[in-house]
Chains A and B, each alone.
Chain A
Amino acid sequence: MTGKRITSYFIAALSIGVATTLLKSFGERANATTAALAFLLVVLFVATLRGSRPALLASVLGMLCFNFFFLPPTGTFTVADPDNWIALFAFLVVAMTAGQLSARARRRAEEAEAGRREIERLYRELREAFERASHAEALRRSERLKSALLDAVTHDIRTPLTSIKASVTTLLDEARAGTDGGGAHAIALDAESRRDMLEVIDEESDRLDRFVEGLIDLARIEAGEMQLRRRWGALDEIIAAALARAAPLTDGRRIAVETEDGLPVARVDPRAVAEVVYTLLDNAAKYSPPGTAIRIEARRGAGEMIEVAVEDEGPGVPPDLRERVFDKFFRATGGDASALRRPTGTGMGLAIARGIVEAHGGHIRIQAAAGGGARFVFTLPIGDDEETGEVLSDEES
């Protein structure tokens, strides 16, 4: 620090020295005014580059050199003409003031620069902190998703496994009792019980298979690998197929189907669309009490779309959950629906349904039904946009 200051003073003195030498080399052509202005320039130069104190030194040295070399009588520090005293004094004041002002300007500029750097640093830190926070948030979200997946797996795989294991071990007990000639806890299952156990194993294996199937579908949809096998299909046939499959679930519900006359056939994957309708029927049956009605409507919507609605008379879906029910592994529980049977789905059905509808180029959403129940509406394009596009490009080529 001191080294730097000494250098500054040295530069100040040197500058004045150089200026004096240069001016002297011009000889008589450099008059007192030229010299004074040149020294002022040096003072300004020192003030700008080296600050106020070296500028002060330069001012004093400049004044002395001015006096010694340029004010008559030259070669002495005496001043003959009283006017020159004024000139000398004016030079000193101007040099000092100009030096101080320019040094202050320099300081201000430095401060402004430091401030800018500080703001930049703060901004960088803030951005880094923000990035870290959003990274942490993303991590947390993915952790939450993972734990939701784990919960789903815990329940949806272990529950059928529990029934299977309990059935199998009961059957094994009996088999062992048969071969051992009856142990301490020998049991004899009657034919009906044995069949009951086997049926449970059969049904629960299917349930596990469906769960795995759902996981695979979901993974495909998420990876954007949903394969649609589109062909022209009639919506009433698709709905009828879904209804037939859902018959065991909708037992005890009044089913009303309403298809608009002259509904055009649509280029869809009929199996996939039937899956969507089935999921919505399953959902409606789960969340509405027995004895109520489930209505299915299909009609032409705006803009070359077919609109299908499934409406129940259950408690409905609260507005804040209307988006979330389509999230995977989301299951509405408890609440007002406490009197109803517990939702036993996989938490994947609606997510898959949304994937299928969107792969077709349609939309699915929930509305409040007139009777307060839930009304799921999805749309499907009548034609196949993608294929139309391909045909057009073929014609162009």
Chain B
Amino acid sequence: MDRKPRILVVDDEPQITRVLRTSLFTHGYDVRTAADGVSALETFGDWHPDLVVTDLAMPDMDGLELCRRLRAVSQVPIIVLSAKGDERAKVGALDLGADDYVTKPFGIDELLARMRAALRRAAMAPAGEGPQSVLEAGDFRVDLEARSVGVGGADVHLTPKEFDLLVYFLRHAGKVLTHRTLLAAVWGGDYTEQSEYLRVFVGQLRKKIEPEPASPQYILTEPWIGYRFDPGA
């Protein structure tokens, strides 16, 4: 990226936007702030930021609604700021397409790390949704036509559903995926409440791809929320 990455920070707490503006600016980002969802959407339309960091609890248009509106027009990475204990709003935001979350209060390094990961992912994403026969990321190589999977050079045999699940994980590597999102993507909309299906299949998949299924390194559990896939170095 030639220019500085543009970050839009949305929070109704002036002190938080003030700190983030200064801090992110110092870390080499171009920052704009908005105090509510409506002005955030305006700024988004005019300025085309590369990433949006938004609070969830805001007057008028809350973070959830903002996620929904942004997703309707853009694939911009969204990181939500949420309070501990506010799991429902957090899951709601992730379901609506937010990429990641940071729990308040947070250290600036944690936010920066999540931002870098989200920006990297956005940069790696294929420009067009063109047909891609081979997915390669980290330790994984998946041939979509042959439906073959290699983990660290070794072939792994997967059932069709396990294969679909892995492909979805690979395509959304690094992003927090809620139970709902995964169920809807792999099993279809009728199964979004059947999180035990998911647990069983994730367990089987881990046995096949993880060196130590008991302490997974690829499919990471986000407690109460879902999973995050890390393809490895």
Q: Do these two chains interact?
A: yes
A165 near B26: Cβ-Cβ < 8 Å? no
Task: Tell me the minimal C-beta distance from B23 to chain A in angstroms.
Answer: 4
Inter-subunit contact A200/B19 (CB<8 Å): yes
Q: Quick one: which of A166, A188, A333 contacts B106, CB cutoff 8 A?
A: A166
Contact B83 A170 (CB under 8 A): no
Check if B104 is an interface residue, CB within 8 A of chain A: yes
Are A155 and B83 in contact, with the CB atoms below 8 A? yes
- In whole angstroms, what is the CA distance A159 to B82 when docked? 10
Pick the residue among A169, A190, A193, A344 that contacts B107 (CB under 8 A): A169
Interface residues of A in 198-239 (CB under 8 A from B): 200, 203-204
- B residues apposed to A, CB below 8 Å: 12-13, 15-16, 18-20, 22-23, 25-28, 57-60, 81, 83-86, 104-109, 111-112
Closest 5 CB pairs of A and B: A162-B105, A169-B107, A342-B59, A169-B108, A165-B105
The residues of A that contact B18 with a CB separation of less than 8 Å are 163, 196, 200
Complex CA gap A154/B12 in Å reads: 16
Interface status of A197 (Cβ within 8 A of chain B): yes
Give the residues in chain B near A162, CB-CB below 8 Å. 13, 16, 81, 104-106
- In the complex, whether A189 has a CB less than 8 A from a CB of chain B is yes
Cross-chain contact A187 with B26 (CB below 8 angstroms) = yes
Q: How far is the CB of B189 from chain A (nearest CB, A)?
A: 32
Write the A164-204 contact mask toward B (1 if CB under 8 angstroms, else 0): 11110110011000000000010111100100110010011
With known contacts A158-B105, A165-B105, A334-B59, A189–B26 Cβ distance under 8 A: yes
Is chain A's binding surface mostly helix, strand, loop or mixed?
A: helix
Contacts of A174 in B (CB 8 A): 26
Question: What is the bound-complex CA distance between A155 and B85, given in angstroms?
Answer: 11
Number of interface residues of A (CB under 8 A): 32
User: Which partner residue on chain A sits nearest B20 by CB separation?
Assistant: A166
Q: Report how far A342 CA is from B105 CA in the complex, Å.
A: 21
- With a CB–CB cut-off of 8 A, which chain A residues contact B22? 170, 189, 193, 196-197
List the B side residues contacting A173 at CB < 8 Å. 108-109
- Tell me if A369 counts as interface (CB < 8 A to partner B): no
Report the nearest A residue to B116, measured CB to CB: A185
A residues whose Cβ falls under 8 Å from a Cβ of B: 154-155, 158-167, 169-170, 173-174, 185, 187-190, 193, 196-197, 200, 203-204, 333-334, 338, 342, 344
Question: Hey, which chain A residues are within 8 Å of B111, CB to CB?
Answer: 166
Report how far A165 CA is from B59 CA in the complex, Å: 24
Whether A338 touches B105, Cβ cut-off 8 Å, given contacts A159-B16, A163-B15, is: no
Q: Give the CA-CA distance A165 to B109 in the complex, in Å.
A: 11
- B16 to A, closest residue via Cβ: A163
The residues of A that contact B83 with a CB separation of less than 8 Å are: 154-155, 158
Could you say which residues of chain B place their CB within 8 Å of the CB of A196?
18, 22
Determine which residue in B23, B57, B58 has the highest number of CB atoms from chain A within 10 A of its CB, and name it.
Answer: B23
* Inter-subunit contact A166/B19 (CB<8 Å): yes
A200, B109: Cβ atoms under 8 Å? no
On whether A166 and B16 interact (CB within 8 A), knowing A154-B83, A173-B109, A342-B59, the answer reads yes
Chain A: minimal CB distance from B108 (Å): 4
Chain A: minimal CB distance from B79 (Å): 14
Q: Which residue of A lies closest to B15 (CB)?
A: A163
15 A/B residue pairs, CB under 8 Å, sorted by A: A158-B84, A158-B104, A159-B13, A159-B15, A169-B108, A169-B109, A170-B108, A174-B26, A193-B25, A197-B19, A200-B18, A200-B19, A342-B12, A342-B59, A344-B13
On chain A, the residues within 8 Å of B23 by CB distance are 166-167, 170, 197
> In the complex, what's the smallest C-beta–C-beta distance from A14 to chain B, in angstroms?
78
Which of A161, A165, A170 has the most chain B CB atoms inside 10 A of its CB?
A170
Q: Which one of A162, A185, A188, A203 has the highest number of Cβ atoms from chain B below 10 Å of its Cβ?
A: A162
Once A159-B16, A185-B112, A188-B26 are accepted as A-B contacts, the answer to whether A166 and B59 lie under 8 Å apart by CB is no
Among A169, A173, A187, A197, the most chain B Cβ lie within 10 Å of the Cβ of A169
- Within the complex, the shortest CB–CB distance from B178 to chain A, in Å, comes to 22
Query: Nearest Cβ distance between residue A345 and chain B, in whole angstroms?
Result: 13
Given A166-B16, A200-B18: A161 and B26 within 8 A (CB)? no
